[in-house]
Chain A
């Protein structure tokens, strides 16, 4: 009766030592220590089966390391719950199988004593097996999570690289557009310079000035002076245009206080001439004049992109009496810029996709499909605003919303 009582108490204590950790090594070290202490085992070892190498490796050893040589790796001839007497050392070994793994205890005790101890561990063998499985599942889960984390990191890296690529493409596309706009801007002053120089050349070739008289000399001087002033002013204009474009392209990560009207005007200074040449009338209405604090260059880039798109579609659809209306307004805490054209709008099936990257309705040569995607990124992610597109009865309408303050 006393023995049964002790057996029960020890069983309780050993069962309580199971599952104290989800780390297999830590859990088994604790269990082997408690079980050995309670039952008088001289040493104990946990053999873990490695499925890859198909070999057993010692996960932990409890007790004197000097007993190490008694422990030989489990093999096919060893039976679960068997007791083997080691003649060389005079010790007995108790083998308990847990799934694919084994626990081996060393005792200096009689066969009958070890049988009673065996009965203790057998009573909770399945619980121990479950705890071992839980540890292994936990480890597997950690490994899966780590793999997932690694894959997510890889994908994020890929996405970043893609974004960089998109940005690069977008810059190249913008450069192309800019060059085209510069060409528009310069065509007229260059033409004028050419006209002035041609008239100087013509007048000198045809000897239109009578240099023999003081009047003739005076007239020639005045003519040359006027012509040079004109050329100078045209050159000034060209320089001014270049500065505008250069400022526009300068990576300016500083926010600044600016009114939306100023932003629209800056944009029109760049693209206005091109619109005018293409016969597009631009009307600007201002209903909000308070300054907002934002990334001015980036917003200008967005306005420019929308205007350029409008210009392209107007040209493509050969719209007569083309006009673009820009309305600067206010909606609660937002200030808005609405840009509306009369080019018959965006087809219904296309409208939901226009802000997606690489989506373009323009021919391959002209569109990268990145302009509106970059615009959305700039307004929503950098400037914490919104950009919306819709159709009006006569055309398309883009609205940029930026927070006041």
Chain B
């Protein structure tokens, strides 16, 4: 999918990396820049993420420059019109970056996914900034975009692994009233009351004196599936009654409140890498692309580098591990329907 992956600290250093061809730029949110300079014969698309990962380290400031291979192409799409993309029949892999704060993510992914060839594998994540305000964070050399998605398609095969490591704390509950990404009632009671009661029973943390986000990143919600792992949904904020989630939730979904221990999360990342590695049919591994949630990053804190190490250890020593700390992760695991995950580690073997 990508021919060369490199990293620069400043936008001014980009010229040294950009030669004729198409590039995907992943920019950490603290990187100062106003626009992407135009270069002749250079096609550029990119997005801003909370942090970027390159060679085992994460950066709050800096730019990953990924040059597309000749068998890959990239485009920016408006999320309102996913059906304008008709991938070629020989497309084996897709990398998708969506506006992480768009309310259209689920519908877009579902529609877009339906057009993909049968064996195509997909990986990606939600872009955005940690201020949790929707801004135009996708760009090309012409302008910035909101409610948009970058799609990189390639004939190269990839391996995909998805794991989260969260364990059920209490449940099951029924999401009796939902409206898009707003969870209004759990078991017919105010969602926040149920959530608060369950967490304050388990933890000494109190919502009165701790920011909601600090607690919720430790206690996400899990959507129950049959014979399969939970799909994690992260609560981001509350108005005292409802809980606002990253991603849509269907009414009457069966939920559990999850809890994560650092060792389980690290173990999950390792498992995701193992699955991804095993999923790559040929041995020609060029790099490893990881998409990890900002909440996992905040929760693991200093241990996060262990997560990267756990992933790196699965691959040959010189394999470049790169990626993003994202707002929501995207993958299709085992050819099922596509999912927009939260608090999950997605590993792509490219």
Contacts and interface: CB of A to CB of B under 8 A. Distances in A.
Instruction: Report if A and B associate in a common complex.
Output: yes
Given A12-B174, A13-B252, A42-B335, A67 B227 contact: no
B172 A65 contact: no
Interface string A9-36: 1101100110000000000000001101
A6 B230 CA distance: 11
A177 to B, nearest CB: 71
B337 A34 contact: no
A17 to B, nearest CB: 7
A12 B176 CA distance: 12
Contacts of B115: 64-65
A210 interface: no
Contact of A40 (B224, B225, B254): B225
| Interface footprint category on B | 20 to 34
Contacts of B251: 16
B155 interface: no
A17 B250 CA distance: 9
A40 B252 contact: no
Contacts of B224: 6, 9-10, 13, 38
A63 B336 CA distance: 8
B118 A40 contact: no
Contacts of B253: 13
Nearest to B119: A66
A40 B228 contact: yes
Contacts of A13: 224, 250, 252-254
A394 B251 CA distance: 81
Interface residues of A, number: 31
B117 A40 contact: no
B70 interface: no
Given A13-B253, A13-B254, A37-B337, A6 B114 contact: no
Interface in A38-62: 38-42, 61-62
A9 B254 contact: yes
Contacts of B114: 61, 63-65
Contact of A37 (B117, B118, B225, B227): B225
Contact of B225 (A10, A12, A62): A10
Interface string A158-194: 0000000000000000000000000000000000000
Nearest to A63: B337
Contacts of A41: 336
B335 A108 contact: yes
A120 interface: yes
Contacts of A207: none
Nearest to B228: A40
Which of B110, B113, B174, B252 gathers the greatest number of chain A CB atoms within 10 Å? Answer: B252
A117 B228 CA distance: 12
A13 B110 CA distance: 20
B226 A39 contact: yes
A381 to B, nearest CB: 51
Contact of A6 (B116, B118, B227, B250): B227
Interface string B158-170: 0000000000000
Contact of A38 (B110, B172, B174, B226): B226
A363 interface: no
B334 interface: yes
Nearest to A42: B335
Contacts of A36: 336-337
Contacts of A7: 226
A213 interface: no
A61 B334 CA distance: 19
A3 interface: yes
B174 A40 contact: no
A40 B252 CA distance: 18
A3 B254 CA distance: 15
Contacts of A12: 174, 252, 254
Contacts of B227: 3, 6, 39-40, 113, 116
A67 B117 CA distance: 9
Nearest to B251: A16
B89 to A, nearest CB: 9
A66 B254 contact: no
B64 to A, nearest CB: 30
Contact of B226 (A61, A67, A108, A120): A120
Contacts of B110: 33
Which of B226, B254, B334 gathers the greatest number of chain A CB atoms within 10 Å? Answer: B226
Interface of B: 110, 113-118, 172, 174, 224-228, 250-254, 334-337
24 contacts: A3-B227, A9-B172, A10-B225, A10-B226, A12-B254, A13-B224, A13-B252, A17-B252, A33-B337, A34-B250, A36-B337, A37-B225, A38-B226, A40-B225, A40-B228, A40-B334, A62-B337, A63-B114, A63-B337, A64-B114, A65-B114, A65-B115, A66-B116, A66-B118
Given A17-B252, A65-B114, 14 more contacts: A10-B225, A10-B226, A13-B224, A13-B254, A33-B110, A37-B336, A39-B226, A40-B226, A40-B228, A40-B336, A42-B335, A66-B118, A67-B118, A113-B227
